[in-house]
Chain A
Amino acid sequence: AQSVSQHNHHVILSEAASLELGCNYSYGGTVNLFWYVQYPGQHLQLLLKYFSGDPLVKGIKGFEAEFIKSKFSFNLRKPSVQWSDTAEYFCAVNAPNNDMRFGAGTRLTVKP
């Protein structure tokens, strides 16, 4: 079964710093990839997703992610974070028609 690894448990940045959160998955076939955000006390929201095509995916709120098939990676990036980006970020993977598996999550704290 596929699994998802997020390398950073807790990331602390100052406002305007650049962000990159790592995500690797273990599955040899075709996969769909997702990044979700969970703000404190709120439910999951989809940031972006990759199904096929351009491996550089742009999402909401200035986030983007790049799918590198050879590295089994789907890292999330943002050039300049804001205090309001403080949240938990989850990478998720599913093979078509299969269930979605989540990484352990990365807590992002942005200091004003």
Chain B
Amino acid sequence: GAVVSQHPSWVICKSGTSVKIECRSLDFQATTMFWYRQFPKQSLMLMATSNEGSKATYEQGVEKDKFLINHASLTLSTLTVTSAHPEDSSFYICSARSSVSYEQYFGPGTRLTVT
């Protein structure tokens, strides 16, 4: 089956620093990738949708200057949390939609802890 990887799986950073999270579709091409955020014991909330080669579309209430998304290729999207604060601590999950089947596959998630 289609595999989506995320790196790193877990990161701790200091307040004020930036963190980059990578999302890769390993065996398929993904024109569209999605970034979700999941707080403890809560559901996944869509943050943004990124299309290869174009600017990401952010959901209402998500700061695009804080959560920078780049989708430079058909297999890679990155999420950079800039000037991280403790309230940004969360579980970030990416999802990639196959350009062929349009099915959506989820990565294992990245746990970000900001101290």
Interface of A toward B, CB cutoff 8 Å = 36, 43-44, 88, 90, 94, 96-97, 99-105, 107
Interface of B toward A, CB cutoff 8 Å = 34, 36, 41-46, 49, 93, 95, 102, 104, 106-109
| Residues of B contacting A90 in the complex (Cβ-Cβ under 8 angstroms) | 43-44
| Residues of A contacting B106 in the complex (Cβ-Cβ under 8 angstroms) | 36, 43-44
Most buried by A among B44, B46, B108: B44
Can you list 9 contacts pairing A with B, beta carbon distance less than 8 Å? A43-B93, A43-B106, A44-B93, A94-B104, A97-B102, A99-B34, A99-B49, A100-B95, A105-B42
Are A104's CB and B42's CB within 8 A? yes
Q: Which applies to chain A's interface (DSSP): helix, strand, loop or mixed? A: loop
| Residues of B contacting A97 in the complex (Cβ-Cβ under 8 angstroms) | 102
Are A107's CB and B44's CB within 8 A? no
Across chains A and B, the number of contacting residue pairs, with CB separation under 8 Å, is 35
| Residues of B contacting A36 in the complex (Cβ-Cβ under 8 angstroms) | 106
Q: For the complex of A and B, list the 6 residue pairs with the smallest distance between their C-beta atoms, beginning with the closest.
A: A43-B108, A105-B43, A102-B44, A104-B43, A44-B106, A102-B43
In the bound assembly, the distance between CA atoms of A32 and B97 in angstroms comes to 13
In the bound assembly, the distance between CA atoms of A36 and B108 in angstroms comes to 13
Are A101's CB and B102's CB within 8 A? no
In the bound assembly, the distance between CA atoms of A90 and B106 in angstroms comes to 13
In the bound assembly, the distance between CA atoms of A101 and B34 in angstroms comes to 11
| Residues of A contacting B34 in the complex (Cβ-Cβ under 8 angstroms) | 99-100
In the bound assembly, the distance between CA atoms of A97 and B46 in angstroms comes to 15
| Residues of A contacting B107 in the complex (Cβ-Cβ under 8 angstroms) | 43
In the bound assembly, the distance between CA atoms of A18 and B46 in angstroms comes to 32
